[in-house]
Structure formats: structure tokens, C-alpha cells
Chain A
């Protein structure tokens, strides 16, 4: 029973943090874009516009609920629900920090350590297509359908390269569990004792990181791969007909996906909660707090990298996108995997 209570508390707090992170990502996105374009950004609601996300969310609740005449009512409502559900479920296998002792028991900061953790994330990622496809089709709008079909083709194409990169990482670690992948990275880099806690996969697999980052951008439908919602040709993309909280769910799901992608990148390439000098901290509670803080710093860094890329690079054309995904990233990922295998076997 204690176990269930402990996990329930963890689940509720992870879910709450996910929502808060997604809300403040919208604020950060606007502030960061404003900074890059030499503007001020939201600054009326609260100090630095910090209350802006609450104002936006509150507005969503009271907007008119509009469903066009010719759309499939049930699927039209189900679409954003599916998008939100698949986005929120992926956080279950992320290790947020090391185990610590409290209330006379060991508490693990991971909702579930199933031994196929990374595949679980891939599974929910592949289900994310449905939210967009169903919403786009149910709207009975030509722009939405185009956008849905483009987005799903794009997402499935980039999933392949992503899968091959994950295989490369699994070959180095020998486990599909994210917890093991993180623990593997706590050692000393290149066996130099001074670099303890810095044994991150990025130093062994820089190419894999670049490919993975590109795929993550494409999976989240973020610029420069936001062809699903390119305003100039498809109006609003798959959510052209949406309003009120249903639109909010689509936008929210995108930011949650971005948060989870950043977390996965930080976890499998940048050592998760590991940081240099962590062996010096004796107090287990302090260590846990520090580790969680470090992980969140890494996550925020990657979220900002996503935004920086969005406001820097122009959008790809569709044939360029497909060309990049199939003809460049997949062969590169396979070659990277084979070289990694050969090098590990040779040493």
C-alpha cells in the first residue's frame, strides 16, 4: 500500500510539473523570441509577464465551443484528447533523480522502471500520429487534411532514424532501461578520474546526438520542420477548425512533447541527472535535490535550443524534408551504428 501511495504522489507531481513546464514554455518561447527580435514580449500580466500563461489558459476555458457542420463530432473532440494523452504518458519511464532514503524506505524518482523503458517512449511517440491524423481528418477541411497527412508522413519517416540511433546507444549500454543508461554515464570520462560524473554519451556519439536532435525537432513538428502548420499555405494546419480548449490541447501537447524530447535528449546523451563533482556530496537528500535541479537545468537548456532553432532557421520544403529524413539521416544512422559496433568489438 505504501508503494502505491509513494508512486501516486510521484505520478501526480510529475504530471503537475509537466503541465507547468509546458505552460511556462509558452511564456519562455514568447520572451525568447522577443529577445532574439529585439522586442519586449509579454510584460503586462505580472512581473515580466509571468502570469501570461494563466491568462491564456483561462481564456481557453471560456471561448466559444465551435464544431463545424460537416465534421465528425466524436472524432473531432477525440483528436486533441488523444494528442494530449500520448504526450503526457511518455514521462513515466524517465529517471528524474537518484534513489534516496526517506521515511525508512528507499524511494526511487522514476514512475516505472520497466526494462524496456526507451521502447516505451518510442511506442507512445508512434501513437502520437493519431491525434493529428484524426483531428485533421475529422475537421473535414482541406487544409487540415493536407496538414494531417503531411505531419504523419513526416513523423513516421523520422521515427526510423531515431530508432536506429537508440539502438546505437543501447549497444553501448546493453540495456533498454533508461535508469541503466543514466547509471552507465556516471563514471569517469575516458577513465580520467578528474572527469568523474562526466561519462556522457555525447562525448562518444556526437553524430548520433545531431541526428537525434534533428529527428526530435521533426517529431515535435517544430520549426524548421513545422510543415504541418505552415501558416502561409495551410492556414493553421491540422487545427484550422479548432477553438477553445481543444485548440489549447493541441498547442499544449506540442509543448509537452518538446519538454519530453528535451528530457530524453538530456537523459540519453547528457548524463541525465549526473554532474561532475556529485561524488563529493555526502548528504543523500541534498544530492537528490541537486541532481533533480541539474537535470532540469539541462532540460531547460534544450528547450531553449529548440526555440533558438525555431527563430533562426527558415522552414524546409516538403521534398527537402523527405530527402533529409530518408536519404541522409537513415544511412548516416546505420553507418554510425555499424562503426560503433566495430569499434566496441575491436577494443
Chain B
């Protein structure tokens, strides 16, 4: 086994363990912290693929922005034990069976349709910032512009939701 494989397996194990801890930890704040560590594992994978820009963007956007939002919501909604919805055993069993069959279907359908390209046929520098920018602003310039319309829609949605709640009494 080469050094690359050892690094890969280490990172993969780290990511999977952290991701399962997200699900298994009782405290939602701990879940968020484990999710941040999962993000770091994924960023490590990007780094090992020589995609430094994607790795750092992954950290800035997911760990630095989206997880902050998660943490805000979880910390301030006060999800403690009393407010946690209790489900009966039958509900839990049904959820496990339903989720499991969905996963099986997805795996089966992905296996037959998606053929991943072989790694060494791709330019290994594509994850660096310069080639990425060139591709983004020449080949994919139209999707890039359309994504800004998507952002606009998201902004309008966020503001509308935020404004509707404004009439309620607010602390602070």
C-alpha cells in the first residue's frame, strides 16, 4: 500500500466515524461539531486530490458559514430533552425500514447509471484556482450567471421568511 492509499483510508475512516457520530450523539450541539469535523475530513480528501482551492472553499462555505447558521438555529431554538418529540417503537421501526429501502433503491439505481471517469484521464490541476477560474468563466459562464439568479431567489425567500416573523415580540 502506498502513502496515498494510507492517507486515503485514514481520511475516509475519519470522515465516516465523524459522520456516524453526528447521527448517534444525543446533544444536537455535539452533532453540529462532529459535522464540522466531517467537513474537515472531506476537505482533506480534496487536498489529497490536489484541489486546494476546493478544499479551502469547502471549509469557508460549509464549516465557516453554513455550520454557523446551523449552530445559531440549534443553540437558540433550545432543543433540549423536554421538547424532543417522542416516537413509539413502531414508528422507529417503520422509519428504519423506510429509510433502508430508500437507500437500497438509490444505491441500485446509481450503480447502473453512473459511470465515473477514470482518474488519470482528468487533468490533475483542475482543482487549483487558476484552471478552475478559466473553465468557470469561459466554458461555464452561462450557468455561472444563472447561479446568480438562483442566489437572488434565495435572498428574496430568506428576507420574506424573516419579515413574516417580525411582528412577534422580540427579545434583545
Contacts and interface: CB of A to CB of B under 8 A. Distances in A.
Interface of A: 72, 75, 114-116, 119-120, 122-123, 126-127, 129-130, 133-134, 137, 145-146, 149, 152, 156, 176
A123 B59 contact: yes
B68 A156 contact: yes
A127 B52 contact: no
Nearest to A152: B68
A134 B75 CA distance: 9
Contacts of A176: 53, 129
Nearest to B71: A133
Closest 5 CB pairs of A and B: A126-B64, A123-B59, A119-B56, A123-B60, A137-B75
A335 B76 CA distance: 36
B163 interface: no
A127 B63 contact: yes
Interface in B64-79: 64-65, 68, 71-72, 75-76
Nearest to B69: A156
B7 interface: no
15 contacts: A72-B27, A75-B30, A115-B52, A116-B53, A116-B129, A119-B53, A122-B56, A122-B60, A123-B60, A123-B63, A126-B68, A130-B71, A133-B75, A134-B33, A137-B29
A123 B64 CA distance: 7
Contacts of A149: 72, 76
B56 A152 contact: no
A137 B36 CA distance: 17
A176 B72 CA distance: 31
B128 interface: yes
A130 B39 CA distance: 14
A119 B71 contact: no
Interface string B38-59: 0000000000000011001101
Interface of B: 27, 29-30, 33, 36, 52-53, 56-57, 59-60, 63-65, 68, 71-72, 75-76, 128-129, 172
Contacts of A116: 52-53, 56, 129
A149 B68 CA distance: 11
B154 to A, nearest CB: 16
A126 B65 contact: yes
Given A126-B59, A126-B65, A127-B59, 4 more contacts: A119-B60, A120-B56, A126-B64, A146-B172
Majority-rule SS of A interface residues: helix
Contacts of B33: 134
B78 to A, nearest CB: 10
Contact of B72 (A72, A114, A152): A152
Contacts of A156: 65, 68
B24 to A, nearest CB: 16
Contacts of B36: 130
A122 B56 CA distance: 9
Given A115-B129, A123-B56, A129 B29 contact: no
B113 to A, nearest CB: 34
Contacts of B53: 116, 119, 176
B122 to A, nearest CB: 19
B159 to A, nearest CB: 13
A129 B56 contact: no
B75 A126 contact: no
B63 to A, nearest CB: 6
Contacts of A127: 59, 63-64
A137 B172 CA distance: 16
Contacts of B60: 119, 122-123, 126
A161 to B, nearest CB: 15
A129 B66 CA distance: 12
A337 B53 CA distance: 21
Nearest to B75: A137
A75 B29 contact: yes
Contacts of A120: 56
Given A123-B64, A126-B60, A156-B68, A115 B75 contact: no
Contacts of A152: 68, 72
A119 B57 contact: yes
Nearest to B171: A146
B76 to A, nearest CB: 7
Given A116-B129, A119-B57, A119-B60, A129 B68 contact: yes
